[in-house]
């Protein structure tokens, strides 16, 4: 068969596929407008290296609500704060995608845990997580003491660099991860422990590679042979399994050493106690080991990567805006002094420092599209009919740059969070932890960590770039989490 005959034979199949593609979408009545997609691929090839920037441009073109497709899967992007708050407060929008090339089986946490579960499983375990974390110490002295101990250990590591260029990411991630380890495992790890460093590196690697998931979903044949997409997906899967082994070791250790105190010392003991109680009283007990391992992973990643990466963004913005750094340091020196560690009780005395932390979160927009939701039933969103199982994205990157809420949104300006009396003000349109029923359950812990880490680091060090180096907030890797590209700084002690 020659090529012309082959192409003629193939043509009917191509035309039929195109017809199926177009007819499938045309049956969706009153779906939001949006950019034109490519058959079979949808809009995924148009996202570029920084999808939030592309989506901001589409928002300016199509409005606050617009529709996309990843392959044949419909997505609706919400770009207005009030719309996001209304929609994400509705149970009908509280679903999660259950199919994933990465979390595809029990071993990799498919449909389980605190982030990717839904319906009664999610509601039950979110309630348990919220109450347990509150009882364990969110806002209590022992937890603050644990954070401060990690801050002081990190500061010592930075002093030991002796003002030589240093990439702080690894040690910073380990320090922050130790805080969540104290909560969920009741222990910390040495900052230079190679096994612990390997685990936190896996965590970072997964965050950086999860953006490939969409391509693997649209083109599943890429998983059939060696290529870059398959390699990245398989790396994430292997890391998930390795992390599961680490968590399983912690589970087994806790099971061997039953806690006898009336006060439960950590999340893992609390979960095991709840599982034992429910096994006696509940017919269908969802407090099983697969759900536990997935929940531990979700708590570990949410409690590690977000805070450490926000601190990296703080370094970037302080280098770009040294006058802000100097003003933060002056406020600390004047109101507290640089000779003692800052505590949570000092926050009220440092309004400009607090405003700077808020502005860092606004500009960084760390989780730019939040965690995708799905519709559990058909929804009407501002007159648009959104079918069941449609993915909903909250474009927080756009919200944090919306001129309706922010004057000169492109400018880094902490004073936007202060009134004329230098008191903190809360802006509508500020949602670094998302909003609604599935907002971040560790928000209070994250706020305390960000203050104690960033404020104490700025109290202790002047930040400088090595000679000949530059640093820009425009240089970052866009994924589920926006992370600055690797950089080195000189940490000059303020003594």
Spatial separation of the C-alpha atoms in residues 201 and 486, rounded to whole Å: 13
What's 313's DSSP letter? H
Confirm if 339 and 407 have CB atoms less than 8 A apart.
no
Structure tokens belonging to residue 30: 């009153």
Query: Residue 257 CB: number of other CB atoms within 10 A?
Result: 9
What residues contact 445, with CB distance under 8 A and at least 6 apart? 133, 138, 143, 179, 183, 303
What does the radius of gyration of the chain's CA atoms come to, in whole angstroms?
Answer: 24
Three-state DSSP at 188 gives coil
440 belongs to an annotated ligand binding site = yes
CA angle at 106 for the pair 102 and 289, rounded to the nearest 5°? 135
CA angle at 133 for the pair 436 and 427, rounded to the nearest 5°? 35
Least Cα distance to 480 among 76, 207, 97 occurs for 207
Q: What is the largest CA-CA distance in the chain?
A: 85
Three-state DSSP at 478 gives coil
User: Buried (b) or exposed (e) across 101-122, using 16+ Cβ within 10 A?
Assistant: bbbbeeebbbbbbbbbbbeeeb
Structure tokens belonging to residue 491: 């940490």
User: What residues form DSSP beta bridges with 95?
Assistant: 374
Confirm if 116 and 110 have CB atoms less than 8 A apart.
yes
Per DSSP, helices labelled H in 109-164 are 119-136, 141-159
Binding residues for heme, as ranges, are 440
Binding residues, as ranges, are 440
């Amino acid at each position: 068969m020659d090529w012309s005959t082959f192409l003629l034979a193939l043509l009917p199949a191509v035309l039929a596929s195109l017809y199926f593609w177009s007819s499938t979408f045309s049956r969706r009545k009153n779906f939001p407008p949006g950019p034109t997609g490519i058959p079979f691929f949808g809009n995924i090839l148009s996202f570029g290296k920084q999808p939030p920037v592309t989506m901001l441009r589409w928002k300016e073109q199509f409005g606050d609500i617009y529709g996309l497709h990843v392959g044949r899967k419909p997505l609706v992007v919400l770009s207005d704060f009030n719309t996001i708050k209304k929609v994400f407060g509705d149970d009908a929008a509280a679903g999660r995608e259950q199919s994933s090339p990465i979390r595809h089986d029990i071993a990799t946490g498919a449909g389980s845990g605190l982030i990717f579960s839904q319906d009664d499983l999610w509601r039950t375990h979110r309630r348990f997580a919220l109450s347990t974390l509150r009882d364990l110490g969110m806002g209590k002295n022992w937890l603050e003491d644990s954070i401060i101990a990690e801050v002081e250990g990190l500061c010592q590591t930075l002093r030991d660099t002796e003002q030589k260029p240093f990439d702080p990411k690894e040690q910073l991630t380990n320090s922050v991860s130790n805080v969540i380890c104290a909560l969920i495992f009741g222990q910390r790890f040495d900052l230079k422990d190679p096994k612990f460093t390997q685990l936190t590196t896996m965590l970072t690697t997964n965050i950086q590679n999860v953006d490939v998931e969409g391509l693997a979903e649209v083109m599943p044949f890429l998983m059939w042979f060696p290529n870059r997409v398959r390699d990245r997906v398989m790396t994430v899967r292997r890391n998930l399994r390795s992390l599961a082994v680490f968590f399983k070791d912690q589970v087994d250790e806790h099971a061997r050493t039953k806690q006898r105190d009336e006060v439960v010392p950590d999340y893992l003991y609390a979960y095991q106690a709840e599982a034992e109680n429910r096994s006696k009283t509940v017919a269908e007990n969802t407090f099983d080991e697969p759900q536990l391992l997935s929940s531990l992973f979700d708590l570990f990643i949410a409690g590690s990567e977000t805070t450490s990466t926000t601190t990296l963004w703080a370094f970037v913005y302080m280098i770009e805006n040294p006058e802000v750094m100097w003003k933060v340091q002056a406020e600390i020196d004047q109101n507290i002094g640089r000779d003692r560690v800052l505590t949570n009780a000092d926050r009220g005395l440092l309004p400009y420092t607090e405003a700077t932390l808020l502005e860092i979160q606004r500009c960084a927009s760390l989780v730019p599209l939040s965690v995708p939701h799905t519709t559990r039933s058909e929804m009407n969103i501002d007159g648009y009919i959104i079918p069941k199982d449609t993915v909903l994205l909250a474009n927080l990157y756009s919200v944090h740059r919306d001129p309706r809420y922010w004057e000169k949104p492109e400018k880094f300006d902490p004073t936007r969070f202060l009134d004329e009396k230098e008191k903190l003000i809360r802006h509508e349109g500020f949602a670094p932890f998302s909003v609604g029923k599935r907002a971040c359950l560790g928000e209070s812990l994250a706020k305390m960590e960000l203050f104690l880490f960033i404020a104490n680091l700025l109290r202790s060090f002047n930040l400088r770039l090595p000679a000949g180096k530059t640093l820009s907030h425009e240089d970052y890797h866009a994924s589920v989490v926006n992370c600055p590209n690797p950089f080195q700084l000189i940490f000059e002690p303020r003594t």
